[in-house]
Amino acid sequence: MGFDAIEVIVTKRDGGELSTAQIDWVVDAYTRGAVAEEQMAALLMAILLNGMNRREIADWTKAMIRTGERMDWSALDRPTADKHSTGGVGDKITLPLAPLVAACGAYVPQLSGRGLGHTGGTLDKLESIPGWRATLSQEEMLQVIRTAGAVVCAAGAGLAPADRKIYALRDVTGTVESIPLIASSIMSKKIAEGTGSLVLDVKVGSGAFMKDVASARELARTMVDLGLDAGVRTVALLTAMDRPLGRAVGNALEVAEAVEVLAGGGPSDVVELTVRLAREMLEAAQVPNPKDPEQALKDGSAMDVWRRMIRAQGGDPDAPLPEANEVTVVSAPATGVLTRLDAYAVGVAAWRLGAGRARKEDPVSATAGVTLHAKPGDRVTRGQPLLTLHADDPARFERALQVLEGAYTIEENGTPDLLPLVIERIAG
């Protein structure tokens, strides 16, 4: 059945509800090029301004999935679990989490993305490992999962192609911030991935896409409903991104920190969140008698999976990670308690040092980034190192230092006002 694009736009412009048939038609027609860019741009703006109800969002998500293929893991003899993070600063959790969950009894087929702006991307991080490959066919993905128990790789062009096209248009038309469009974009890809269960890590705070708990909760609830409506066991955690996660921000720097966690060490916040998400994934996947994640970090079994996974994707887990040519240190200007370290500013500094990209096609530096020597709540002494900035090109330091001015507060006897690491759990 054919529709008229203008009729669909006007329905939503006037606050009406789009029918299933209208949504199916417009998403398919736009993907095929039968609806013009400016018409879809107008519809996206109408959705941003007037919203969509649960049925419309579910239909929009299904329509995007239908424009491509769905992956199938039914040949595997263990339940599958996946995790998606809405992104933040120092969020390297996928790196230790995928092998950890595999070591505890589930298979983890994880399709990940690249960084944009101040938020890092898992694939950029892993590509700092010599030889490691992000692009695998579905046959290769199955091979890696059977060998290692987990795979982390790039999504193929065949998954929800409508999403790629619509996302690019949202990016240039000021329509990124719509919760129905964010939720359907994330969930169309995750449902098409074919995983049996999904845990969502929805970040909250200055370094996250969602700055406050209320909007993060709305996004999480919308995504959990979409997963459940599609038959995927889905749960979400709202987690803190008002300060960076861990002590490393940047590609190779974060891989080194992830390896520390897999070796039974690493920063307490990274370990705590990794273990909590692993337990959620094992429960959502309904793994019978799973191994305890804390035990799998201690006994080396998670590290064994990591090494097999890296090797199976062409990487050398023993190769030294690349290091920056130049470093500069930011020292504490006073003695006292570090009460605030703004995640967004640290993320922008890492980006300006070369760790991130402004456009999808930009290259990234494997070695650029920021090391944190103190976290909010720590006592610091005047003159001690607070941050180390890493870059290949020393000309990049000036702009990174500019954004860090005013990004931290040291008070003689202050106490930090921080979000709890795990704020809330949202389930069906």
311 belongs to the catalytic site: no
- What lies within 8 Å, CB to CB, of 36 at 6+ separation is 5
pLDDT at 116: 76
pLDDT at 66: 96
Q: Which one is catalytic: 163, 242, 269, 342?
A: 163
Please tell me whether residues 275 and 214 are part of one structural domain. Answer: yes
Whole-structure pTM over 0.85, yes or no?
A: yes
d(CA 9, CA 320): 55
d(CA 405, CA 403): 6
Asked if residue 74 has pLDDT above 70, the reply is: yes
Asked if residue 360 has pLDDT above 80, the reply is: no
Asked if residue 104 has pLDDT above 90, the reply is: yes
Instruction: Yes or no: say if 204 and 210 are a contact pair by the CB < 8 Å rule.
Output: yes
Please tell me whether residues 100 and 246 are part of one structural domain. Answer: yes
Q: What is the mean pLDDT of residues 124-143?
A: 96
pLDDT at 2: 72
Q: Within 10 A of 70 (CB to CB), how many other CB atoms are there? A: 13
Please tell me whether residues 271 and 197 are part of one structural domain. Answer: yes
Give the chain's domain count: 3
Q: Within 10 A of 53 (CB to CB), how many other CB atoms are there? A: 11
206 belongs to the catalytic site: no
The dihedral through the CA atoms of 33, 39, 41, 43 has a sign that is negative
Q: Is 418 part of any domain?
A: no
The whole domain housing 369 covers: 326-411
Q: Which one is catalytic: 12, 189, 217, 247?
A: 189
In the beta sheet, which residues pair with residue 198? 82, 234
Please tell me whether residues 298 and 276 are part of one structural domain. Answer: yes
pLDDT at 1: 58
Please tell me whether residues 330 and 315 are part of one structural domain. Answer: no
pLDDT at 171: 86
- Percent of the chain at pLDDT exceeding 70: 100
Give the pLDDT band of residue 428 (cuts 50, 70, 90). confident
pLDDT at 114: 87
Q: Where are the beta strands (DSSP E) in 225-325?
A: 233-240, 248-250
Q: Are strands 326-331 and 369-372 parallel, antiparallel or unpaired?
A: unpaired
CATH of the domain at 34: 1.20.970.10
pLDDT (tens digit per residue) in 2-36: 789 999 999 999 999 999 999 999 999 999 999 99
Please tell me whether residues 336 and 272 are part of one structural domain. Answer: no
pLDDT at 123: 96
- What lies within 8 Å, CB to CB, of 84 at 6+ separation is 186, 190, 198, 199, 200, 201
Please tell me whether residues 120 and 91 are part of one structural domain. Answer: yes
The angle at the Cα of 216, spanning 215 to 221, to the nearest 5 degrees, equals: 100
Alpha helices in 86-137 (DSSP H): 94-103, 122-126
Asked if residue 219 has pLDDT above 90, the reply is: yes
pLDDT at 272: 98
Q: Which one is catalytic: 12, 83, 84, 118?
A: 84
Q: What is the mean pLDDT of residues 271-286?
A: 98
- What lies within 8 Å, CB to CB, of 328 at 6+ separation is 388, 389, 394, 397, 401
Instruction: Yes or no: say if 198 and 84 are a contact pair by the CB < 8 Å rule.
Output: yes
163 belongs to the catalytic site: yes
Q: Which one is catalytic: 185, 197, 206, 301?
A: 185
Q: Is 106 part of any domain?
A: yes
Please tell me whether residues 183 and 269 are part of one structural domain. Answer: yes
Asked if residue 357 has pLDDT above 90, the reply is: no
Please tell me whether residues 156 and 229 are part of one structural domain. Answer: yes
Q: What is the mean pLDDT of residues 55-74?
A: 95
What share of residues in the chain are helix, strand, coil (percent, to 5)? 45, 15, 40
d(CA 257, CA 240): 19
- From 162-176, 210-224, 262-276, the region with the lowest mean pLDDT: 162-176
Higher pLDDT, 48 or 113: 48
d(CA 22, CA 160): 18
- From 172-176, 297-301, 319-323, the region with the lowest mean pLDDT: 172-176
Orientation angle between helical segments 301-312 and 138-148, nearest 10 degrees: 150
d(CA 204, CA 237): 10
pLDDT at 204: 98
Give the pLDDT band of residue 149 (cuts 50, 70, 90). very high
Please tell me whether residues 109 and 160 are part of one structural domain. Answer: yes
pLDDT at 119: 86
The dihedral through the CA atoms of 214, 27, 139, 228 has a sign that is positive
Please tell me whether residues 21 and 159 are part of one structural domain. Answer: no
- Percent of the chain at pLDDT exceeding 90: 92
Asked if residue 271 has pLDDT above 80, the reply is: yes
Tell me which residue of 4, 104, 116 sits closest to 360, measured CA to CA: 116
